[in-house]
């Protein structure tokens, strides 16, 4: 069947634009030649209607609440795989066999330490530095310690920088936390799992042995899987556009960490807990807060609700909500915050304001309840999100480099002053 075409009529001109169809029947008008043929550019603030690339990595159906990584439903990956297995899938395009996973795990385990001089960097940071600032700064600084793996076009250098990033981000995040509480940095313990090692780096001290709680280990591993990729979200698009200048991978990932930090994006998980705590501390009812979140006169939003793509349930939110109940029960914890979250969800899902705007719980709505229950400090929620999203950022960056690609450089419509003459300063 011949490829579909779209017609654009502009003035006397009628042009045909190719329509491309993806493997899941998504369709896009290819406007690559629009300006050359018509002199027109498109305008789409926030890119709500604009695709930046074709990708084989993650598929989201926002209407159906579907999320697949490399064709595998998120529910199946969450149930049957571990985070490093999913990381291998995202980066390599297929699930590893046992030998491949063992080799990948071994390599990651042997890159978890950071250069001893790195500790000096942390010492220079204020105690109350947000760990996301530390993570983006230290990831960018990896380029200074590893000048041997900066060329984005050299497969060997790319592979070593990928393994270094996957291995070292948990160490860097944990050190940012330890610095903020004035505790000594722990060295990685490579006999532990990826998550077990991270938990030990976060919560162990040299004063006593640390035993990894398997319930906590599994909960964090699940959360990392659920955060691992999400097509062209704000931080991933940042990694791609920064990477399109052919800067090294460390710099592109550092930019992604900064984008993720924002409260509208990955920073929302921390904002959700702050919201739940405020409701509890102020003795607000769920209805009172929901009314605030709806009011244009109030800047409050129901954090953890709404999504650019999901206009139905975020499938990750469903999995995390179930895991929250499971983890709290197994840890024997009663969470007032979870009770408030459930009440807010029930109220919002029946409220016309949220229904009309297709606002549902997203990945951030319940994740903070789990992080809080396992002792993760609130300013470490988003660094946890970054550790989870890292393999997705890497996979998307790799995919961009696998194809011929232009440097990312959007157009604009200029609406400012037309040409003016410079007058002498004494005449202004
Ligand atoms: C993540 O893109 C991704 O895939 C992101 C992510 C990933 O995995 O990478 O899924 C992770 O970032 C999840 C989102 C986390 N952010 C939050 O939970 C913050 C709260 N949510 C919103 O700020 C908002 O919903 C966004 C930013 C998530 C989406 O914004 P959009 O699509 O640009 O929608 P919008 O801001 O234009 O809102 C549309 C309407 C507006 O009302 P009207 O102007 O039409 O009257 O919905 C309202 C908004 O005021 N609205 C909300 C709301 N979210 C949107 N009203 C109250 N509470 C909310 N949470």
pLDDT at 123: 92
Q: What is the mean pLDDT of residues 384-411?
A: 97
Say yes or no: CB of residue 359 within 6 Å of ligand 1. Answer: yes
Mutational pocket test of ligand 1: of 290, 307, 354, the residue with most ligand atoms within 8 Å of the beta carbon: 307
Ligand 1 pocket member 310 (CB < 6 A): no
Q: Which residue matches tokens 């169809």?
A: 21
Rounded distance, CA 129 to CA 190, Å? 28
CA distance 68 to 92: 15
Distance 264 CA to ligand 1 centre (A): 7
Nearest CA to ligand 1 atom 8: 230
127-160 pLDDT, tens digit per residue, is 999 999 999 999 999 999 999 999 999 999 999 9
Q: Quick check: 84 pLDDT over 90?
A: yes
Task: With CA atoms as reference, report the closest residue to 187 among 210, 164, 165.
Answer: 210
pLDDT at 2: 78
Instruction: Give the mean model confidence (pLDDT) for residues 201-223.
Output: 96
Contact between residue 175 and residue 122 where contact means Cβ atoms under 8 Å apart: yes
- pLDDT beyond 90 at 427: yes
Taking CA atoms only, the protein residue closest to ligand 1 atom 26 is 307
SS3 label, residue 8: strand
Q: How confident is the model at residue 119 (pLDDT cuts 50, 70, 90)?
A: confident
Cβ-proximal residues to 248 (8 Å cutoff; 6+ apart), any chain: 143, 149, 150, 151, 152, 161
Indicate the pLDDT class of residue 172, thresholds 50, 70 and 90.
very high
CB atoms within 10 A of CB 12: 5
pLDDT at 279 > cutoff 90: yes
Distance CA 171, CA 185 (A): 9
Pocket test for ligand 1, best of 306, 311, 312, 367 (most atoms within 8 A of CB): 306
pLDDT at residue 1 above 80?
A: no
Q: Which helix (H) or strand (E) holds 6?
A: strand 5-10
Binding site membership of 303 for ligand 1 (Cβ less than 6 Å)? yes
- For 88, 148, 163, 280, the CA distances from 105, given in Å and listed in that order, are 9, 22, 10, 42
Q: How far is CA 172 from CA 181, 232, 380, 384, in A?
A: 15, 25, 12, 11
CB 73 within 8 A of CB 319: no
Q: In this model, does residue 293 exceed pLDDT 90?
A: yes
Please identify, by atom number, the ligand 1 atom nearest to the C-alpha of residue 260.
Answer: 12
Distance, CA of 428 to CA of 244 (rounded, Å): 43
Residue pLDDT, tens place only, 42-82 = 999 999 999 999 999 999 999 999 999 999 999 999 999 99
Ligand 1 near 306 CB (within 6 A) = yes
- Alpha-carbon distance values, 157 to 141, 250, 423 (Å): 17, 12, 54
**What span, in angstroms and rounded, lies between the C-alpha atoms of 109 and 200?**
14
Average pLDDT over residues 218-237: 98
- What are φ and ψ of residue 127, in 5° steps? -60, -35
Ligand 1: distance of its center to the CA of 45 in Å? 15
Contact 78, 388 (CB under 8 A): no
Q: Is 155 helix (H, G, I), strand (E, B) or coil?
A: helix
Distance CA 385, CA 401 (A): 24
- Whole-number Å distance, alpha carbon 81 to ligand 1 midpoint, is 30
Ligand 1 centroid distance, CA of 82 (Å): 29
Catalytic residues: 307, 364
Buried b (16+ CB within 10 A) or exposed e, 373-400: bbebebbbbbbbbbbbbbbbbbbbbbbb
Predicted pLDDT at 141: 97
**How confident is the model at residue 202, as a pLDDT?**
98
Ligand 1 pocket, residue 94 CB under 6 Å: no
CA 381 – ligand 1 centroid, Å:
19
Residue 3's pLDDT band, with cuts at 50, 70 and 90, is confident
pLDDT at 425: 98
- Give CA–CA dist 370/381, Å, rounded: 10
What share of residues in the chain are helix, strand, coil (percent, to 5)?
A: 55, 5, 40
List CB contacts of 225: < 8 A, sequence separation 6 or more.
Answer: 74, 77, 78, 81, 82, 83, 86, 388
- Residue 299 pLDDT: 86
pLDDT higher than threshold 90 for residue 397 = yes
Cβ-in-10-Å burial (0-12, 13-18, 19+) of 106 comes to: exposed
The CB of 228 under 6 Å from ligand 1? The reply is no
CA-atom Rg of the chain in angstroms? 23
Tokens of 398: 């790799």
Whole-angstrom Cα distance, residue 255 to residue 240? 10
405 lines ligand 1 (CB under 6 A): no
What whole-number percentage of the chain has pLDDT above 70? Answer: 100
Mean pLDDT of 14-38: 96
- Name the average pLDDT for the chain: 96
Q: Which long-range contacts (CB under 8 A, 24 or more apart) does 192-199 make?
A: 193/82, 193/217, 193/221, 194/82, 194/83, 194/84, 194/105, 194/108, 194/109, 194/170, 194/221, 195/83, 195/220, 195/221, 195/224, 197/109, 197/112, 197/170, 198/170, 198/173, 198/174, 198/387
Q: For 310-334, write each residue's pLDDT tens digit.
A: 998 999 999 999 999 999 999 999 9
Q: Whose CA is nearest to atom 23 of ligand 1?
A: 264
């Amino acid at each position: 069947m011949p490829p579909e075409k779209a017609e654009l009529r502009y003035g006397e001109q009628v042009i045909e634009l190719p329509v491309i169809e993806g493997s899941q029947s998504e369709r896009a008008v290819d406007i690559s030649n629009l300006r050359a043929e018509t002199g027109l550019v498109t305008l789409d603030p926030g890119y709500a209607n604009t695709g930046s690339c074709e990708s084989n990595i993650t598929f989201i159906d926002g209407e159906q609440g579907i999320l697949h990584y490399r064709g595998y439903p998120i529910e199946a990956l969450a149930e049957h795989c571990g985070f490093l297995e999913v990381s291998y899938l995202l980066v390599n395009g297929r699930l590893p066999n046992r030998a491949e996973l063992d080799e990948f795990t071994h390599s990651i385990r042997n890159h978890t330490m950071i250069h001893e001089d790195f500790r000096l960097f942390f010492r220079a940071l204020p105690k109350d530095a947000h760990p996301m600032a530390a993570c983006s700064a230290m990831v960018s600084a990896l380029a200074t310690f590893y000048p041997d793996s900066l060329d984005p076009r050299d497969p060997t250098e790319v592979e070593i920088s990928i393994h270094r990033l996957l291995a070292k981000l948990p160490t860097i995040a944990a050190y940012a936390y330890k610095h903020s509480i004035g505790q000594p940095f722990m060295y990685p313990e490579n006999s532990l799992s990826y998550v077990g090692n991270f938990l030990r780096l976060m919560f162990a001290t040299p004063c006593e042995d640390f035993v990894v709680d398997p319930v906590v280990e599994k909960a964090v591993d699940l959360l990392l899987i659920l955060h691992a990729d999400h097509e062209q979200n704000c931080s991933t698009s940042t990694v791609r556009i920064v990477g399109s200048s052919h800067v090294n991978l460390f710099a592109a990932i550092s930019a992604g960490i900064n984008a993720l930090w924002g409260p509208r994006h990955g920073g929302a998980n921390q904002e959700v807990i702050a919201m739940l705590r405020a409701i509890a501390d102020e003795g607000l009812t769920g209805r009172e807060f929901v009314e605030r979140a709806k009011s244009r006169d109030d800047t409050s939003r129901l954090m953890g609700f709404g999504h650019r793509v999901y206009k139905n349930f975020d499938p990750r939110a469903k999995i995390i909500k179930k895991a929250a109940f499971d983890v709290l029960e197994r840890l024997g914890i009663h969470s007032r915050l979870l009770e408030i979250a459930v009440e807010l969800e029930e109220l919002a899902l029946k409220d016309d304001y949220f229904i009309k705007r297709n606002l549902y719980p997203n990945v951030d709505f319940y994740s903070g309840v789990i992080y809080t229950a396992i002792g993760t400090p609130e300013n470490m929620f988003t660094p946890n999100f970054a550790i989870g999203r890292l393999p997705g950022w890497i996979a998307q960056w790799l995919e961009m480099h696998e194809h011929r690609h232009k440097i990312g450089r959007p157009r604009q419509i200029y609406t400012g002053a037309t040409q003016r003459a410079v007058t002498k300063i004494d005449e202004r």
